[in-house]
Structure 1
């Protein structure tokens, strides 16, 4: 019997990512630790997430930000909100995604704040870049976060997405309007796609991320051949 059932809007992969990021409360941490103890695949997933976040967080300069930093982060994130985020509807009402996305936004903004506080000689991090990839119905299918060095993109799936006999392929579309492949996305799982140096400069605010359905193993032509299932503009924090 499962002593730690998951809420309907949570998946093991997302919970483990939140655990590795340190945004869960005590009860949720206990549940994830029980999952990890039961199944080796969850242990491997945790190690992968820890390594992933260590790479990202390792780019932040060492600093002890003042107490006012988090207040400024909250003001930037929730400026203009008429009531708390917990009352929002649609994809923002997905508790797990909201916690994860808020943490990603906060980390990106904190990186920008700390960079401004460092000496001029310190290496600068790029702005936090994010995208919400919506279906034609308006439902969000993926939330994408671009690594500050633009060498990888993390896609977090927000809905069940399984297309038998097809492969989901991610694309970036820059100002020239030409789609360029970022790689294939697995069904029903978050994924990090590594970006080549040639494509890194295209991952900028205003560019579009899109996902199409292609034959197994991806488009045979190097260009989209199937329907677009989700798309959204990249924006900077």
Structure 2
């Protein structure tokens, strides 16, 4: 069975192949160029996009139990010692600027997340580019599943249809819901594969970790009232990676 169609591995194992790539992407531990390459692959490889959506659903509950914390200087060596039995690094060695160190720390973070410690254990370097924002959108009883990816570099929000179809006699409209504010329409899904939305700056500013994206079924051309009028067929919470 191809890697993109594999299921989430048991929690006591480390994922491999496409499972590992999808998990690393959702956890936000990939370097910026690899992260953008994975985002492009999601647009064209539906089985892989489905795998990313499953990992997003798998890791989302961890955000509810763990608060952000800065990593102390000795964390990497202690993680290595705990996971691999290696010697702890002497204090004062300048590891924070090492690419090899950060790559190793990313894999250690992934291992901890898989066994239940959560992806928010580590705060990554402030020199990293602005994170991508992603959301896996689904709803009980609905065949529609989508992945949303917002790239701060391109200022585009792309919606990839992972499963289900756009109805012929209705429109699917995308909404942004920030806190208790009224839903804001972002536009209609135009393609059964990928639809790109150019967000005005005031709207883009509201698209952040914790914001809700939802898709409703509307009359052809969109809601006549400026608010959702039909059933919500997919929804999800935006997370930064």
TM-score range, shorter chain: 0.5 to 0.7
Superposed, 1:11-160 pairs within 5 Å as 21=37, 66-77=99-110, 79-82=112-115, 116-117=126-127, 125-137=129-141, 141-148=145-152, 151-160=155-164
What's the secondary structure of 2:180's corresponding residue?
A: coil
* CA distance in structure 2 between the partners assigned to 1:160 and 1:138 by the alignment: 8
RMSD of equivalent CA atoms: 3.8
Q: Which entry has the higher C-alpha Rg, 1 or 2? A: 2
Partner of residue 3, structure 1: none
In the alignment, what sits opposite 2:219? 215
SS at match of 1:158: strand
Distance 2:98 2:149 in 1: 23
| Structure-2 residue corresponding to 1:236 | 240
Task: Name stretches of at least 5 consecutive residues in structure 1 with no aligned partner.
Answer: 1-5, 10-17, 25-31, 33-63, 84-108, 118-123
Residues 213-232 of structure 1 show CA distances to partners (whole Å, capped at 9, x for unaligned) of 11112112221111100001
| Normalised TM-score (structure 2) | 0.51
Question: Per the alignment, in what secondary structure is the counterpart of residue 171 of structure 2?
Answer: strand
- Cα distance in structure 2, aligned partners of 1:66 and 1:8: 28
Q: Is the 8 A contact 1:135 1:231 kept in 2?
A: yes
User: Structure 2: how far apart are the matches of 1:22 and 1:219?
Assistant: 33
Q: Which residue of 1 aligns with 2:61?
A: none
User: What SS does the aligned partner of 2:99 have?
Assistant: coil
Cα distance in 1 between the residues matched to 2:38 and 2:148: 20
- Aligned partner of 1:225 in structure 2 is 229
Post-superposition offset of 1:23: 9.6
Where do 5+ consecutive residues of structure 2 fail to align? 6-33, 46-96, 117-121
Bigger relative contact order, structure 1 or 2 (CA pairs below 8 A, ≥6 apart): 2
